[in-house]
Structure 1
């Protein structure tokens, strides 16, 4: 994605959504960690983050307790998260749809009705040259706290890389 062409407008921030399977593990981690980066950078009014899942199993639920605990161990608050399912109608209002693995990438490409909407879908790890060969962030749902911590670390590194690409373009447009 070429962020150089961004023309941020304070009334309509650049909108990023993170999508995983159930919206209770990986995508809430990604949403919370990028929001923290954005807030600390002073760009909170110009970049909006959210998350969703491709499935509806957990709609309305909090993030998994292990997600909340992993986030808390790193100083983040994930307690306010409520799961929701991605709605293809949202494409029109989104600038970037970041998926955590190739399964979500396939699903979101299939749900997109235009090439423009399909072009918005990107794998999270693709933003980080060191992690890009891995392609997928593993789903920790059926594992232990150690994998939740490891996955959070992967997501944080990838979000730093994403933010490093996005922030200069956003700042350039701020007058």
Structure 2
């Protein structure tokens, strides 16, 4: 099973989701059954580490994002991943616009797994540190829901 998290530049929300989700998979005993990655729609930060504020907020929760590097969504991602999860409506629209015919990946808003099917994970980039904490709270909730969904799928 493969999961891809997508945001705008791949330096705040999606790498945070990747880190949180990896840790929750580890705690759930599913780390060896699910591959996780993240990427961005835009090219601005390719090759860069996550935003220092995202790293600090995640670090306070015991999650190390320092080894992650930003990359862009690629055509191959639609073949490689079973789930492609967008952080907001603009990301979702950009993913759908690039979706090739015959793509079987489930493409959705990430917060749908937190019982918030029409809500977005807000971009904390231009805000203060508290925005990064709020993003992590949302990501943790959605990650729990996604793990429940994957657990059901993997046991079917």
- Give TM-score scaled by structure 1 length: 0.85
Among candidates 111, 116, 133, match of residue 149 of structure 1: 133
How far is the alpha carbon of 1:113 from its aligned partner? 1.5
SS at match of 2:26: helix
**Alignment check: 8 A CA contact 2:8 2:91 kept:** yes
User: CA RMSD, aligned part only?
Assistant: 1.3
State the Cα distance separating 1:153 from its structure 2 match: 0.6
Distance 1:74 1:152, change over 3 A: same
Structure 1 stretches of 4+ with a deviation exceeding 4 A read none
TM-score (norm 2): 0.95
Instruction: Report what 2:17 is aligned to.
Output: 30
Tell me, which stretches of 5 or more residues in structure 1 are unaligned? 1-13
Aligned mate of 1:46, from 13, 33, 44: 33
Q: What corresponds to 1:5 in structure 2? A: none
Partner of 1:73: 60
Task: State the structure with more CA Rg.
Answer: 1
- How many equivalent residue pairs? 156
Match of 1:124 in 2: 110
Cα drift, residue 89 of structure 1 = 2.2
The equivalent residue for 1:137 is: 121
Residues 71-122 of structure 1: CA deviation (Å, up to 9, x unaligned) = 01111111111000110222111101000001011001010121534x5211
Task: Choose which of 6, 16, 21 in structure 1 pairs with 2:8.
Answer: 21
